[in-house]
């Protein structure tokens, strides 16, 4: 397939963060040329008055739960988990597949071209992802064998899933130990071993709530990140979700080990986790920060535009300082930073990159359209429903 | 004009907060019948699988600035005001009219059917509002004569504006003294006198930043609300915007005087005002709370769906307690509470009420559609761009 996008405002997210005006030519899965190009193409999209930007990358969600949207609002995390686990016990592969379809449709419609998932039955989610054409990083959830509801051993399930899906074009399997309160040392180290064996990424919830930190310290004498370093679990393949309750010492440990962060501001706020991830200190220490929505049960949507605004405003509010975050750095979290964390040749619009991008109609909530306020409009004004077209791997999926 | 909306999920916002399924029949400006009704109508809207809810009411904005969107991001309020005032000095009636048109189009497109504005040149904004068919409560901004940039005396301008527009169907003029740092006692009391003479509402910024409170106290020995009570400015006609930095004593003063609150969470967070309005204490003391977006320079959109989500999540985060706010009370702020504050026969879908309502398409980000999660979906999942039709005063405007 070849696509020519004409006369667009292009938010490149390249090294210089240039904003260009011109055309983009896509062939097969790649961006081939940007600028004055005038190739013939099978599909020509007129983007005059529109914005083209890299597709957003959601680094933390549980898309199989999408159809449970709104089922546990306005309660704190512990009660939330009780409600969820009770509901989830009633669900099987078919429900998870349906939930995933609903969620992936929402993601594509709202400009997300790639996502990281954590759940069981990721093969059902892979099926939904392949049918709908999204790029999916699917982490099979692992917990200790004595508490799992999965059939069989979670580590074996994860390994089998990785073996089955590791050669797919749009699916990248990974392993997802759930948290320090559901995985013991042996489980965590076995999960890491599997990741090393197949050279996959790892994703895990870390330090989401005070309770988690408090109880882990009571049990081990150490805070979660300190303990994870001690057992030699941390490495640069790990994408840690939440990281709300961290000390500066833990931030330095994460930085030293090259751990990537998935910030989930909307979910953290909605669950009343309190505190808020120490973003400025994490950036100061060189941690690569990306952005996630979490599931529709704790968010309650998968709109990464909204997640960007919540990320920016949460920290301005928390620090009583409007200058503590800025639109450009937040956009980086959701695009180029996430691509780096996922070792993915995307996240920016440059020749040779994968053609994962979206076309936005800025009317009416992102007008006027001016070069020097486009990034501001993307982060602070627009929503996922401003997306008119989503292109993944060179294919128009919306 | 008559309109029949068929087969809708109806979020009534009536006394019992009922959610019904059925038809709505509208004749002229009013809702005439709800339920199994099958009247003939000029316009028939099939709302099967859709949600009908009261139009949202934005109780604080400056719509004439909409075309300045994105011009002062990521700076604190004082620097923000400097930037704004410099830009505004270059602007005249024509720019304000154009800004208002852009903003009103955005409001109607995103489900807002009525708004409260504070600005100069409200006659230009009234012109835009009439052309586009929104319900507008327009407050002519008043500051001390020695600092105004208005031609002529602001109090006279305000009075003339009220006289000219007080018999319009969709326009309700009011008076808008700007703040305690721009209006002295004499200006405030004269503004109140004008409001009493023409029986209009008053709106004003109160206690938005620490600096405002600190400097007012240094000047008068009293905090703003204490001082406003002392000079006998407070009454039940006043809609006070922001109210971020309040003591419990001031909350009790506001409650005693029947002052209404316009909460602007997104703007407060974006400007890093810090603190956050003491919502739970205000509700405990019986203050009627409504919701505003503020302008597109400090928000940066006019989407009341987003404002609802920010309102809910800000306080959950601030109090480390997910149960401190709930979706239903937040929806009340943006509908029935605002209608009460504005003495407007709207804000709920009931026979005899004004036909100010919106039809939402919940796909894809508000699915599945279930009676017991509809209110949650409205507050936590949907955005203004889910709105398919907006009806104001019985006319389909979107």
Q: Shortest CB distance from B380 goes to which of A73, A80, A370? A: A73
From CA A374, how far away is CA B29, in angstroms rounded?
40
**Taking CB atoms and an 8 Å cutoff, what residues of chain A touch B382?**
301
pLDDT tens-digit readout, A147-179? 998 999 999 999 999 999 999 999 999 999 999
pLDDT tens-digit readout, A290-342? 999 999 999 999 999 999 999 999 999 999 999 999 999 999 999 999 999 99
Token pair 């009013």 is found at B30
Segment holding A157, helix H or strand E: helix A154-165
Residue B68 scores a pLDDT above 90: yes
Question: What integer best gives the mean pLDDT of chain A?
Answer: 96
pLDDT tens-digit readout, B285-295? 999 999 999 99
Smallest CA–CA distance from B380 into chain A, residue = A300
Residue A370 scores a pLDDT above 90: yes
Complex confidence, ipTM: 0.97
Location of each CATH 2.30.40.10 domain in chain A: 2-54+349-396
Q: Does B94 touch chain A (CB under 8 A)?
A: no
CB proximity list for A260: less than 8 A, separation 6 or greater:
A59, A236, A238, A239, A240, A287, A288, A289, A290, A341
Q: Which of A291, A379, A308 is nearest to A59 (CA)?
A: A291
**Reduced to 3 states, what is the DSSP secondary structure of residue A345?**
coil
Q: Token digits for B390?
A: 């907006």
Q: Does B294 touch chain A (CB under 8 A)?
A: no
From CA B154, how far away is CA B127, in angstroms rounded?
20
| Closest CA–CA distance from residue A280 to any residue of chain B (Å) | 14
Residue A78 scores a pLDDT above 80: no
CB contact under 8 A, A386 and B386: no
Q: Does B269 touch chain A (CB under 8 A)?
A: yes
Segment A231-235 mean pLDDT = 98
Angstrom CA distances, B226 to A4, B54, B232, B251, stand at 63, 36, 10, 10
Question: What integer best gives the mean pLDDT of chain B?
Answer: 96
CB contact under 8 A, B322 and A377: no
For residue A274, name the pLDDT band (cuts at 50, 70, 90).
confident
CB contact under 8 A, A381 and B70: yes
Residues 331-360 of B with CB under 8 A from A: none
Give the pLDDT confidence score for residue A300 in this predicted structure.
96
Percent of chain A's residues with pLDDT above 90: 92
For residue B78, name the pLDDT band (cuts at 50, 70, 90).
confident
The CATH architecture assigned to B2-55+349-396 reads: Roll (2.30)
Domain B56-341, what fold?
Answer: TIM Barrel (3.20.20)
Give all strands of the β-sheet with A56-61 in edge-to-edge order. A56-61, A112-119, A135-142, A171-177, A202-206, A238-242, A260-263, A289-291
For residue B149, name the pLDDT band (cuts at 50, 70, 90).
confident
Determine whether B380 is exposed, middle or buried from the number of CB atoms within 10 Å of its CB (0-12, 13-18, 19+): buried
CB proximity list for B18: less than 8 A, separation 6 or greater:
B12
Rg (CA), chain B: 20
Q: Which of A273, A206, A307, A323 is nearest to B318 (CA)?
A: A273
From CA A308, how far away is CA A286, in angstroms rounded?
20
Location of each CATH 2.30.40.10 domain in chain B: 2-55+349-396
DSSP A275: S
pLDDT tens-digit readout, A90-139? 899 999 999 999 999 999 999 999 999 999 999 999 999 999 999 999 99
Segment B312-328 mean pLDDT = 97
Give CATH for domain A2-54+349-396.
Answer: 2.30.40.10
CB contact under 8 A, A313 and B386: no
Q: Shortest CB distance from B74 goes to which of A275, A322, A382? A: A322
Give the pLDDT confidence score for residue A48 in this predicted structure.
97
**Taking CB atoms and an 8 Å cutoff, what residues of chain A touch B370?**
70
pLDDT tens-digit readout, A342-365? 999 999 999 999 999 999 999 999
From CA B294, how far away is CA B216, in angstroms rounded?
23
Give the pLDDT confidence score for residue B364 in this predicted structure.
96
For residue A82, name the pLDDT band (cuts at 50, 70, 90).
confident
Q: Which of B44, B3, B8, B32 is nearest to B374 (CA)?
A: B8
What are the DSSP E strand ranges found in chain A? Answer: 2-11, 19-27, 30-35, 43-46, 51-54, 56-61, 112-119, 135-142, 171-177, 202-206, 238-242, 260-263, 289-291, 357-360, 387-392, 395-396
Residues 169-228 of A with CB under 8 A from B: none
**Reduced to 3 states, what is the DSSP secondary structure of residue A86?**
helix
Smallest CA–CA distance from A386 into chain B, residue = B385
From CA A117, how far away is CA A125, in angstroms rounded?
9
Give the pLDDT confidence score for residue B1 in this predicted structure.
87
Q: Shortest CB distance from B364 goes to which of A73, A102, A319? A: A102
**Taking CB atoms and an 8 Å cutoff, what residues of chain A touch B270?**
312-313, 316, 322, 380
β-strands A171-177, A135-142 pairing: parallel
What are the DSSP E strand ranges found in A92-234? Answer: 112-119, 135-142, 171-177, 202-206
For residue A75, name the pLDDT band (cuts at 50, 70, 90).
confident
Give the pLDDT confidence score for residue B101 in this predicted structure.
98
Location of each CATH 3.20.20.140 domain in chain A: 56-341
| Residue B272 zone, left/alpha/beta (φ > 0; ψ -120 to 50; rest) | left
């Amino acid at each position: 397939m070849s696509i020519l996008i004409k006369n667009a405002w292009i938010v490149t997210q390249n090294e210089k963060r240039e904003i260009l005006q011109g055309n983009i030519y896509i062939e097969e899965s790649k961006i081939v040329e940007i600028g004055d190009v005038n190739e013939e193409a099978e599909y020509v999209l007129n983007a005059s008055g529109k914005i083209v930007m890299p597709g957003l990358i959601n680094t933390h969600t549980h898309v199989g739960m999408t159809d449970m949207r709104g089922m546990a609002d306005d309660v704190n995390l512990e009660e939330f988990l009780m409600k969820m686990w009770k509901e989830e016990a009633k669900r099987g592969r078919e429900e998870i597949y349906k939930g995933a379809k609903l969620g992936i449709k929402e993601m594509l419609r709202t400009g997300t071209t790639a996502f990281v998932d954590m759940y069981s039955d990721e093969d059902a989610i892979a099926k939904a992802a392949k049918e709908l054409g999204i790029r999916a990083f699917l982490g099979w959830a692992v917990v200790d064998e004595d508490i799992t509801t999965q059939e069989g051993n979670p580590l074996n399930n994860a390994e089998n899933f990785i073996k089955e899906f590791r050669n797919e074009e749009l699916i990248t399997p990974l392993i997802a130990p759930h948290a320090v309160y559901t995985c013991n040392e042996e489980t965590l180290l076995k999960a890491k071993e599997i990741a090393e064996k197949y050279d996959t990424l790892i994703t895990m919830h870390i330090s989401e709530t005070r309770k988690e930190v408090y109880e882990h310290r009571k049990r081990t004498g150490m805070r979660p990140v300190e303990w994870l370093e001690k057992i030699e679990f941390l490495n640069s393949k790990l994408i840690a979700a939440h990281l709300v309750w961290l000390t500066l010492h833990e931030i330095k440990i994460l930085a030293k080990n090259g751990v990537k962060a998935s910030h989930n501001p909307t979910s953290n706020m909605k669950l009343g986790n309190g505190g808020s991830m120490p973003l400025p200190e994490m950036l100061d220490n060189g941690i690569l920060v990306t952005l996630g929505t979490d599931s529709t049960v704790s968010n309650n949507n998968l709109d990464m535009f909204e997640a960007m605004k919540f990320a920016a405003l949460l920290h301005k509010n928390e620090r009583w300082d409007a200058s503590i975050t800025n639109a450009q750095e937040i956009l980086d979290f959701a695009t180029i930073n996430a691509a780096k964390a996922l070792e993915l040749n995307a996240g920016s619009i440059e020749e040779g990159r994968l053609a994962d991008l979206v076309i936005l109609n800025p009317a009416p909530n992102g007008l006027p359209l001016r070069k020097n306020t486009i990034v501001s409009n993307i982060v602070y004004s627009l929503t996922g429903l401003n997306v008119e077209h989503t292109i993944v791997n060179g294919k128009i999926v919306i």
